């Protein structure tokens, strides 16, 4: 006789109240697919409206020329991708783009710069961008690489809501993808951001040639942070010609959905963002991801330098699924 999944009590943290271990997380990940999705949807409904998805917009405020050698990235100066480096975007243009995003329904505006870390000369403009987007009534998010204490304090004072700094993969597999920055460097940056009182946005990328256990271990690292990241973006690799991962074998759709479901169960109150790679997903795959607990997406035609489904396509999918955009959270 098969176990009845309705007898399983959805955990709000690790089921026994302790830290997540690889063994505990793997047991969930490897459960029968229907049981895993049932549990993930139950946890999701305990913490969120299951038919609302938060909409974010991402803008590259400084593209290309990054000194890091991340194997997946078109913006690395180490790779011959044909992408030309640009200067930091002017503040007025950023605010104009954010205004259009807000008017199209986005409640969070994310700004990314291809830096290892910001230089002192760039901080005045970055702070002005944060203040300008906040004045529009939107949540603000920045991803600028590593930060020092003074830079973190300035971003907090400017009103930055979220700082994105992904760990990308498991600690074991990390060195297979990146050599110019350590896994510990990423964790140190996250701790510094948290200590400053800025909310953390942190997730990773799947489909980079890692084993399933690496995906699980990545989520164990995130779920065992002192506080769960408020946003957890799960990216499906977009292979870019000229990068070391250009020929990486795609992750199977059901395996990707398992990652989304596990993230939802392990971090029940976090926004799980279905991020890069949606152009390669069918509507049915995205619907499964939403059922598994994804409740945030990026809207707009591009994500930094990669394609993203257009807003018309997302609107049509939402209408078919009965999903509505999530309103801005009250503070």
pLDDT band of residue 42 (cuts 50, 70, 90) is very high
**Active-site choice (57, 66, 102, 264):** 66
The tens digit of pLDDT for each residue in 50-75 reads 999 998 888 988 876 676 767 677 66
How far apart CA 37 and CA 254 sit, in angstroms, is 11
Report, as an integer, the average pLDDT of 284-313.
78
For residue 45, the model assigns a pLDDT of 97
Q: Is 14 a catalytic residue?
A: no
The CA R_g of the chain, rounded to the nearest whole Å, is 19
Percent of the chain with pLDDT over 90: 62
**Active-site choice (57, 102, 141, 215):** 141
Q: Per-residue DSSP letters for 194-251?
A: HHTTPEEE--EEE-SS--HHHHHHHHHHHHTSSS--SEEEEEEP---TTSTTTTPPPP
Residue 241: pLDDT over 90: no
**Active-site choice (70, 108, 215, 258):** 70
**Active-site choice (57, 181, 186, 201):** 201
Tally Cβ neighbours within 10 Å of residue 272. Answer: 30
Report, as an integer, the average pLDDT of 273-287.
92
**Active-site choice (57, 102, 108, 110):** 110
Tokens of 113: 């710069």
Residue 134: pLDDT over 60: yes
The tens digit of pLDDT for each residue in 247-265 reads 889 999 999 999 999 999 9
For residue 79, the model assigns a pLDDT of 61
**Active-site choice (102, 154, 215, 273):** 273
Q: Is 202 a catalytic residue?
A: no
**Active-site choice (57, 73, 108, 215):** 73
For residue 41, the model assigns a pLDDT of 98
Tokens of 32: 């029968």
Q: At what angle do helices 253-266 and 212-223 cross, to 10 degrees?
A: 20
The tens digit of pLDDT for each residue in 303-330 reads 444 555 566 788 899 999 999 998 876 5
The C-alpha angle 38, 39, 40, rounded to 5 degrees, equals: 95
Q: Is 73 a catalytic residue?
A: yes
Q: Is 26 a catalytic residue?
A: no
Q: How far is CA 245 from CA 145, 160, 172, 183, 249, in A?
A: 21, 33, 17, 19, 9
Spatial CA neighbour of 189 closest among 154, 224, 151? 151
How far apart CA 26 and CA 320 sit, in angstroms, is 33
The C-alpha angle 185, 237, 114, rounded to 5 degrees, equals: 50
Higher pLDDT, 282 or 80: 282
- State the pTM of this model: 0.88
For residue 131, the model assigns a pLDDT of 96
Q: Is 289 a catalytic residue?
A: no
Residue 185: pLDDT over 50: yes
């Amino acid at each position: 006789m098969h176990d009845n999944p309705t007898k399983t009590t959805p955990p709000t943290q690790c089921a026994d109240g302790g830290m997540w271990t690889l063994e505990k997380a793997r047991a969930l990940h490897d459960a029968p697919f229907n049981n895993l999705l049932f549990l993930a949807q139950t946890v999701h409904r305990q913490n969120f409206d299951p038919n609302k998805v938060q909409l974010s917009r991402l803008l590259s405020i400084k593209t290309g020329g990054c000194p890091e050698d991340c194997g997946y990235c078109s913006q690395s100066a180490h790779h011959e991708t044909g992408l030309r480096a640009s200067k930091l975007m002017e503040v007025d243009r950023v605010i104009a783009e954010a205004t259009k995003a807000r008017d199209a329904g986005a409640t969070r505006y994310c700004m990314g710069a291809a830096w290892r870390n910001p230089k002192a000369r760039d901080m005045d403009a970055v702070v002005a961008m944060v203040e300008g987007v906040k004045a529009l009534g939107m949540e603000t998010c920045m991803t600028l690489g590593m930060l020092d204490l003074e830079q973190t304090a300035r971003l907090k004072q400017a009103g930055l809501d979220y700082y994105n700094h992904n760990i990308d993969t498991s600690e074991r597999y990390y060195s297979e993808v990146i050599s110019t920055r350590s896994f510990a460097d990423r964790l140190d940056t996250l701790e510094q951001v948290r200590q400053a009182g800025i909310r953390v946005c942190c997730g990773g990328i799947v489909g980079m040639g890692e084993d399933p256990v690496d995906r699980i271990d990545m989520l164990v690292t995130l779920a065992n942070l002192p506080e769960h990241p408020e946003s957890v973006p799960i990216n499906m690799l977009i292979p870019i010609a000229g990068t070391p991962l250009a020929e990486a074998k795609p992750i199977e759709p059901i395996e990707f959905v398992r990652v989304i479901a596990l993230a939802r169960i392990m971090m029940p109150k976090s926004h799980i963002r279905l991020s890069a790679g949606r152009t390669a997903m069918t509507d049915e795959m995205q619907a499964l991801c939403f059922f598994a607990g994804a409740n945030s997406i990026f809207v707009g035609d591009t994500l930094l330098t990669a394609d993203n489904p257009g807003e018309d396509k997302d609107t049509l999918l939402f209408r078919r699924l009965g999903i509505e955009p999530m309103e801005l959270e009250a503070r």
